[in-house]
């Protein structure tokens, strides 16, 4: 087997590997888009990655035929550190063990370039491939998940708890809830490095966006007080669910937060049910969401609402 840098001439052969990987993935996750089972569509996605600035990777060749590839590119946001990202279209192998050789070759350049924060988006159903990445020093950071856009069986709610659409009068509480999620993510055991904005910034954003028809905002209310909120929209509004990880005609549970004093009352579940119901009524075929797996609240709440993992984001930092 020959391992060498990924080149333009590898796009067609590796695109065929990617299309086959996606076909296998849809056996367990049929709500993913069937479009990428076509080699032409898979090649187009791989070509887009290849043309991204500073993209690089490796390909494995056996008897003149590609049997695996990895292809990554950096993101400019400082949130991710000096990074390289292997996104949903950035890898496929016929044998999971080959990925360890491919990473060894590609990561040599990445680290030489000073890119020491490595992120990889892996199909969740491919246990062998996930294990290969784990054996390269990666751990799971994030989960992408999906469920049908069918009205859920609404759980019984605590007395005094209800969910309704948000109004302009709710802006002060919506602004406070905007800060709750990043604040929670910054605490143990998540320790997310995301920026926590100011209440003034959030108030201004809500004043501009509360009537935007592209977003469905719900609030959970208990005894007349807003205790939580959630937002639904079309998945196209998300910058995180791209390429093979973007199902067709999907809604998106993009945000949910509950004030600390109200957690454990069922408000989060009720908000999730409201967004799923909205997606079903809006004609979406599925609903997508994502979460940090170290966020103990969301990583338990959303699977209980029927979301199953489609892709896992794995992470490794070199040098520590």
Q: What is the model's pLDDT at position 193?
A: 66
Domains of the chain by start residue, with CATH? 2-137 (3.40.630.30), 148-308 (3.40.630.30)
Asked whether the beta carbons of 292 and 141 are under 8 A apart, the reply is: yes
d(CA 30, CA 89): 17
d(CA 279, CA 149): 6
d(CA 291, CA 304): 13
Q: What is the model's pLDDT at position 260?
A: 96
Q: Which of 141, 109, 101, 146 is CA-nearest to residue 122? A: 141
d(CA 125, CA 139): 16
The mean pLDDT values, 10 residues at a time, for the chain of 320 residues are 98 98 98 98 98 97 97 93 97 98 98 97 98 98 97 78 97 96 93 85 96 97 96 94 96 97 93 97 97 96 97 94
- Other beta carbons within 10 angstroms of residue 99's beta carbon come to 26
Asked whether the beta carbons of 277 and 121 are under 8 A apart, the reply is: no
Q: What is the model's pLDDT at position 186?
A: 92
- Residue 29 in tokens: 């996750």
In angstroms, the Cα distances linking 62 to 21, 31, 93, 102, 280 are: 18, 33, 12, 13, 47
pTM (2 decimals)?
0.95
Kindly give the residue spans of alpha helices, DSSP state H, lying in the chain: 11-28, 39-50, 98-112, 127-134, 171-185, 199-209, 267-281, 298-304
Exposed/middle/buried for residue 65 (C-beta within 10 Å: 0-12, 13-18, 19+): exposed
Q: DSSP of 169-230, one letter per residue?
A: GGHHHHHHHHHHHHHHHTSTTT---PPP--HHHHHHHHHHHTT-TTEEEEEEEETTEEEEEE
β-bridge pairing 308-317 and 117-123: antiparallel
Q: What is the model's pLDDT at position 156?
A: 74
């Amino acid at each position: 087997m020959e391992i060498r840098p990924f080149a333009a001439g590898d796009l067609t052969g590796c695109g065929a590997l990617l299309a086959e990987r996606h076909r296998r993935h849809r056996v367990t996750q049929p709500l993913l888009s069937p479009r990428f089972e076509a080699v032409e569509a898979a090649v187009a996605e791989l070509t887009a990655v290849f043309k991204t600035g500073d993209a690089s990777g490796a390909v494995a060749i056996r008897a003149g035929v590609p049997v695996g590839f990895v292809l990554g590119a950096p993101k400019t946001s400082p949130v991710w550190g000096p990074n390289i990202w292997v996104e949903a279209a950035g890898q496929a192998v016929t044998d999971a063990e080959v990925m360890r050789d491919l990473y060894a070759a590609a990561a040599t350049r990445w680290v030489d370039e000073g890119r020491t924060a490595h992120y990889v988006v892996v199909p969740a159903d491919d246990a062998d491939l996930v294990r290969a990445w784990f054996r390269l020093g990666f751990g799971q950071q994030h989960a992408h998940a999906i469920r049908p856009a069918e009205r859920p069986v609404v759980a019984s709610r605590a007395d005094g708890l209800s969910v309704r659409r948000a109004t302009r009068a709710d802006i002060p509480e919506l602004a406070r809830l905007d800060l709750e999620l990043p604040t929670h993510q910054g605490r143990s055991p998540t320790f997310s490095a995301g920026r926590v904005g100011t209440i003034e910034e959030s108030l201004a954003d809500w004043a501009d966006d509360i009537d935007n028809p592209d977003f469905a905002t719900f609030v959970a209310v208990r005894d007349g007080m807003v205790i939580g909120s959630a937002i639904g929209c079309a998945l196209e509004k998300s910058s995180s669910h791209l390429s093979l990880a973007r199902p067709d005609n999907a809604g998106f549970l993009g945000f949910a937060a509950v004030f600390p004093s109200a957690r454990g009352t069922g408000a989060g579940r009720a908000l999730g049910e409201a967004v799923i119901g909205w997606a079903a009524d809006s004609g979406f075929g599925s609903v997508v969401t994502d979460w940090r797996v170290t966020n103990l609240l969301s990583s338990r709440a959303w699977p209980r609402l029927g979301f199953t993992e489609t892709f896992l984001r794995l992470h490794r930092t070199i040098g520590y």
